[in-house]
Amino acid sequence: MSHLALILADVAAITILVFGLYFPRYQRKDMVVAIVGLNIGVMAVATALASAEVSAGLGLGLFGVLSIIRLRSSELDQEEVAYYFSALALGLLAGFAVSPAWLSPALMATVVVALFIGDHPRLFASTRHQTITLDTAFTDEALLVARLESLLGAEVQRIKVKKVDLVNDTTSVDVRFKIVEPQDFAGMSARAAARVSL
């Protein structure tokens, strides 16, 4: 496959990734610029490295250093990190011609489809993750879970206590929970109260 065809495949893939998946879901204009810029930059450098007498290991090492610097300069959510590295992967796939010719476009499509499915809003739509600081120091896990379920109106799936401050009477907890229907919440609250009373 010619370099022009690979470049066109990359442009199509990054357009779908950014304007069809990322921006409609996250609405961050600054990340659109970062993802597109990274993709085009990586593709350009990879294409130049492929035609020069430079080892692929050196080029990949350079991309790794640049991506670490970029990720340390701004806090990104895990989903955004996935889009960021997918843009990097698409650029690399477009920059290096591989054999057979259909492999690079097929891998590009695989990356885009994987993000479409893995980050789909309907996938695990009722699950949430949050870090919460409570105004009470909880040392009893059952009481903590009951309090979180009452506050969130949800079923707590998993908790990880980050800090219990007995002096300032606070608890910081990382909680994974599932949104439940209001009619289900009443029964769930009764079960939580029964657990606490045991």
> What is the model's pLDDT at position 128?
83
| CA-wise closest residue to 92 among 162, 158, 45 | 45
Question: Residue 35 has which token pair?
Answer: 């993802």
Q: What is the rounded distance in angstroms from the CA atom of residue 7 to the CA atom of residue 192?
A: 57
> What is the model's pLDDT at position 198?
47
Helix (H) or strand (E) holding 148: helix 141-152
Which amino acid is residue 108, in one-letter code? M
Cβ 63 vs Cβ 13: under 8 Å: no
Q: How far is CA 57 from CA 49, 70, 84, 111, 113, in A?
A: 10, 20, 20, 22, 27
Cβ 60 vs Cβ 93: under 8 Å: no
Domains and CATH numbers, the chain: 3-118 (no CATH), 127-197 (3.30.70)
Q: What is the rounded distance in angstroms from the CA atom of residue 62 to the CA atom of residue 82?
A: 19
Q: What is the rounded distance in angstroms from the CA atom of residue 88 to the CA atom of residue 35?
A: 8
Q: How would you write 150-173 as a 3-class SS string?
A: HHHCEEEEEEEEEEEECCCCEEEE
Question: What residue ranges of the chain have pLDDT lower than 70?
Answer: 1, 48-76, 182-198
> What is the model's pLDDT at position 179?
87
Phi, psi values for residue 41, rounded to 5°? -65, -45
Neighbours of 52 (CB within 10 A): 9
**What is this structure's pTM?**
0.60
- With pLDDT > 70 as the criterion, what percentage of the chain qualifies? 75
Question: Residue 113 has which token pair?
Answer: 């489809």
Burial state string for 30-46 with b = 16 or more CB within 10 A and e = fewer than 16: ebbebbbebbbebbebb
